[in-house]
Amino acid sequence: MTQHLSEPASAPACCDGAADAGSTAASPTAPAGRRTLPLWRRQGGPHGSRSWATCFYRCGNACDKPVPNTTDNEHVQDVITKAIKRRTLLGGAAVGAGAVVLGTAGAAAAADNRWNAGGSTAGAVRGKMVSNDAFAVVPPNKKDALTVPRGYAAVVVAAWGDPVAPGAPRFDVYKQTAEAAAQQFGYNNDYVGVLNITQTKALLVANHEYTNEELMFPPGVYTDEEQRRIAIASHGMSVMAIERRSTSHGNWAPSADRSPYNKRITGETPFAVTGPVAGHERLRTTDDPEGMTILGTLNNCAGGTTPWGTVLSGEENFNQYFGTTGQIPADRATAFARYGISAEGSRGWHLTWDRFDLAKEPNEPNRFGWIVEVDPLWPDAAPVKHTMLGRFKHEGANVYVERNGRVVVYMGDDERGDYLYKFVSAERYDPATTNAARAKNKSLLTKGTLFVARLTGDGTEDGQWDGTGEWIPLASDNRSYVPGWSVADVLIDTRLAADTVSPTKMDRPEDVEPNLVNGRVYVALTNNSNRGTRFPTDEANPVGTSMVRPSLGAPLQPASGNRNGYVLEMEATGSHTGGAFTWRLLLVCGDPEAPETYFAGYPKSRVSPISCPDNVAFDSAGNLWVSTDGNALGSNDGIFRVFVDGPYRGATQQFLTTPLGAEACGPLITHGDRCVWVAVQHPGEGGTFAEPAGLWPHTNRYPRPAVVVTWKV
């Protein structure tokens, strides 16, 4: 049966780049209350480029609900407001600190970066490394295609349904089973990691964040129960051996032999638990009375590949999988509310599995919301959930090894008004390549200290959007720094513990990743529709009112809130393990014609418009690469190269665009900057299986999420 879903009562803005203000042309008539309609009929309108389907499936309509953080802690927008002196936004001095040699190709790339110039590079091809190639900037578009610069090739490496595990059956969209799905490439790939085995062989690791049932299932073929069982098997992660015929190109493909490395991790795969909370009574359930084995990982969004060759993955909007028709225990109400967990159970999984029923198993939600670690190179090793890294809506986790050997993990909690975190290990990284060293490194995330960030503006007199920050300790493995809180309670109810120490409310922190070339840390803050309403603003604040485009080519229109997001740059004071840092805005995203936008002072006539930064990566020269989710400028999402040092600091160049309905995930730059990877998530969103709105990658009569590699030919 086709699944019908309750419509949200008001315009949800998860994937919050919604282009609503001033736009009524495509606004659907929102019902005042709940009624059953296929929500995918609700296209366009208040969501800008995001459909109702993404909000429902990906984050359980998080933004349609009250902001979970109701504390009085200062919001980053307030901090920025205090720090801002309205400056000349059209151009201005470069703010670069440090220097990366761009070379003539870099100079040509920056000078040639006019998105509306049709991508002419005038023979500017000077090499095959995307770090310094003057590629032809891809202009904004609404194509049902993955568009890359002229001279670049792109191939699908793995798509939903492709066989992964040895012996996996061939995919048939009309004969899907949970057993088959648990062996095939899952749905909605997000994080992409590539671990080299040799120069021509590697392991591809991908997250499968969530499922779009309306796109996956032909109408009338599957019961709701069957859909749920297939869906839980289509979540999780994939590890897949890949290879290429030559080191001179990027034409990667799955290895023919389906190596023993190949495996699927699903919403039902057993995970071991590490750190102070392992075995704690708050993790114990009927099926796991010892609190040591958790079935499955869910809503795995971004992640990070560690120096010891494992992959970290963030369990993000895990709240949506829980519900009940019974009574939620009264003593759980506060914690559940802070995490957006409610009886609603929008996916209905509590109707199939008791463990997702909040009345029957109120501890089960405590077993999700962690950073998980998977070891692709040791396929027999059980994946683990690291409780020492805290429990929240983890976007991802990225590692920096300080000179003293301690490991620092940077993390964001992707919710409007939530916080930035870091973890510092107690033990030191061992760079040896022995199995013993690797095993020891795999335990680094079990002991150390978890911190939350407070940002303070340093005043408006300097004309900079900047300030200082401090890392506030929350708990070590053997000590709580939050008065009245145990270590276990801090780590399980991390949001609530952090609320008590006055950290800074951020605008949906997505990826937080250190740049290994310049040592600074970059944060994608994707958007916040409530800026200027729930969170105070003033006229000087560049993100209090945003200029958006309801459709490609339409005039810019004002919209309330921070609709296009920004990129924050942090610099550790002395050491990444220390308690102090400085910060500044690198980008205030949007259309360069919009007055509030800022590109580190780089001339705005030479940058690509960018909206809703989500995931970040770096090439070997230290250039920042940004993928977007929810473009509020009427265009498809994409991936951008951004110079962060030298005279081109702030130059933003669109490298590719994803197909209709999709967001761009990853990204990843590998193999001497010759390969650019992107995960194309939810292509065709806004349509249904029966009435598709997009068919990318055009291999079937339905769209398929897929991981793509591009390279210069």
Q: How many helical (H) and strand (E) elements, i.e. helices and strands, does the chain have?
A: 10, 36
Q: What share of the chain is helix, strand, coil (3-state, %, to 5)?
A: 15, 30, 55
- Tokens 């040591």 map to which residue? 292
Q: Output the CA torsion sign for 649, 651, 657, 658.
A: positive
Q: Least Å distance between CB 392 and Ca ion? A: 14
- Is the CB of 380 or the CB of 539 nearer to Ca ion? 539
* Token pair in block for residue 636: 């498809």
Q: Please state the closest distance from residue 570 (CB atom) to ligand FEO, in A.
A: 19
Binding residue (CB under 6 A) for ligand FEO from 395, 569, 619, 637: 395
Residue 462 contact partner, candidates Ca ion, ligand FEO, none, CB within 5 to 8 A by sort of partner: Ca ion
Select from 700, 696, 708, 699 the least CA-distant residue to 662: 696
Place of tokens 């749920």: 228
Residue 373 or 414: the one with the smaller Cβ distance to ligand FEO is 414
Question: Which entry of ligand FEO, Ca ion, none binds 466, CB below 5 to 8 A by partner kind?
Answer: Ca ion
Neighbours of 34 (CB within 10 A): 11
Q: Establish if 402 lies at the interface with ligand FEO (CB under 6 A).
A: no
Residue nearest Ca ion (C-beta atom): 464
Cross-strand bridge partners of residue 652: 642
CB of 20 to ligand FEO, least distance (A): 20
For the stretch 63-66, contacts whose Cβ atoms lie closer than 8 Å and that sit 24 or more positions apart, written own/partner, are 63/12, 63/13, 63/14, 63/15, 63/16, 63/416, 63/529, 64/8, 64/9, 64/10, 64/11, 64/12, 64/13, 64/14, 65/340
Nearer to ligand FEO, 16 or 112 (CB): 16
Stretch touching Ca ion by CB under 5 A, among 317-325, 460-468, 590-598, 679-687: 460-468
Query: In terms of CB distance, is 458 or 477 closer to Ca ion?
Result: 458
Among ligand FEO, Ca ion, none, the one that 458 touches (CB under a kind-dependent 5 to 8 A) is Ca ion
Residues in 277-306 that interact with ligand FEO by CB under 6 A = 301
Report the nearest approach of ligand FEO to the CB of residue 508 (Å). Answer: 7
Strands 398-401 and 371-374: unpaired
Q: How far is the CB of 3 from ligand FEO (least distance, A)?
A: 22
Nearer of residues 366 and 681 to Ca ion, judged by Cβ: 681
Residues binding ligand FEO: what is the number (CB under 6 A)?
A: 6
> Among 74, 418, 510, 673, which residue interacts with ligand FEO (rule: CB under 6 A)?
510
Q: How far apart are CA 244 and CA 252, in angstroms?
A: 5
In the complex, least distance from residue 395 CB atom to ligand FEO, rounded to whole angstroms: 4
Q: What is the largest CA-CA distance in the chain?
A: 68
Rounded to whole angstroms, the Cα distance separating 147 from 135 reads 13
DSSP code string of 260-307: TT-EEE-TTSEEEEESTTTT-GGG--SS-TTS-EEE----EEEEEE-T
Beta bridge partners of residue 384, listed in sequence order:
272, 373
Q: Return the one option of ligand FEO, Ca ion, none that residue 214 interacts with (CB less than 5 to 8 A, by type).
A: none
Closer Cβ to ligand FEO, 510 or 685, answer by number: 510
- The entry of Ca ion, ligand FEO, none near residue 83 (CB within 5 to 8 angstroms by kind) is Ca ion
Q: Least distance to Ca ion from the beta carbon of 698, Å?
A: 25
- Any contact of residue 230 with ligand FEO (CB under 6 A)? no
Which positions from 577 through 616 interact with Ca ion, judged by CB under 5 A?
Answer: 614
Closer to ligand FEO by Cβ: residue 421 or 599: 421
In angstroms, give the least distance from the CB of 73 to ligand FEO. Answer: 20
The entry of Ca ion, ligand FEO, none that residue 316 binds, CB within 5 to 8 Å by partner kind: ligand FEO
**In the complex, minimum distance from the CB of residue 413 to ligand FEO, in angstroms, rounded to a whole number:** 9
- Which of ligand FEO, Ca ion, none has residue 209 at its interface (CB below 5 to 8 Å by kind)? ligand FEO
Q: Indicate the residue type of 193.
A: G
- Judged by CB under 5 A, the residue of 224, 243, 458, 477 near Ca ion is 458
Options 7, 414, 637, 673; binder of ligand FEO; rule CB under 6 A: 414
Q: Based on the shown chain and the rule CB under 5 A, indicate whether residue 462 belongs to the binding site for Ca ion.
A: yes
| Contacts to ligand FEO from residues 205-224, by CB under 6 A | 209
What CA–CA distances, in Å, run from 551 to 49, 227, 283, 492?
A: 8, 34, 47, 43
685 interacts with ligand FEO by CB under 6 A? no
The answer to whether residue 466 forms part of the interface with Ca ion (CB under 5 A) is yes
What residue 375 binds from ligand FEO, Ca ion, none (CB within 5 to 8 A, per partner kind)? none
CA end-to-end span of the chain, whole Å?
A: 46
Kindly report each contact of residues 549-555 with a partner whose C-beta sits within 8 Å and lies 24 or more positions away, as own/partner.
549/19, 549/591, 549/632, 549/633, 549/634, 549/635, 550/19, 550/22, 550/23, 550/25, 550/26, 550/48, 550/634, 551/634, 552/140, 552/141, 552/142, 552/633, 552/634, 552/635, 553/634, 554/634
Bridge partners for 239 per DSSP: 205, 263
Closer residue to ligand FEO, CB minimum distance, 191 or 618: 191
Residue type, position 177, single letter: T
416 touches 528 (CB < 8 A): yes
By CB under 6 A, name the one of 74, 133, 316, 493 that touches ligand FEO.
316
Which amino acid, one-letter code, is at 214? E
* Tokens encoding 572: 């550790």
- Contact flag: residue 83 with Ca ion (CB under 5 A): yes
Say whether residue 102 binds ligand FEO (CB under 6 A): no
Nearer to Ca ion, 207 or 476 (CB): 207
Q: How far is the CB of 576 from ligand FEO (least distance, A)?
A: 23
How many other C-beta atoms lie within 10 A of the C-beta of residue 573? 14
CA distances from 248 to 127, 131, 611 (A): 12, 16, 34
Contact characters 350-389, ligand FEO, x per CB under 6 A = ----------------------------------------
DSSP state at residue 25: T
User: How does 433-443 read in b/e, with b if 16+ C-beta sit within 10 Å?
Assistant: eeeeebebbbe
15 versus 328: smaller Cβ distance to Ca ion: 15
Q: From edge to edge, which strands make up the β-sheet containing 624-628?
A: 613-618, 624-628, 638-642, 652-657
Comparison of 63 and 444: residue with beta carbon closer to Ca ion: 63
Residues 314, 306: Cα–Cα separation, whole Å:
14
Residues found near Ca ion in the complex (CB under 5 A): 83, 301, 458, 462, 464, 466, 614
Residues found near ligand FEO in the complex (CB under 6 A): 209, 301, 316, 395, 414, 510
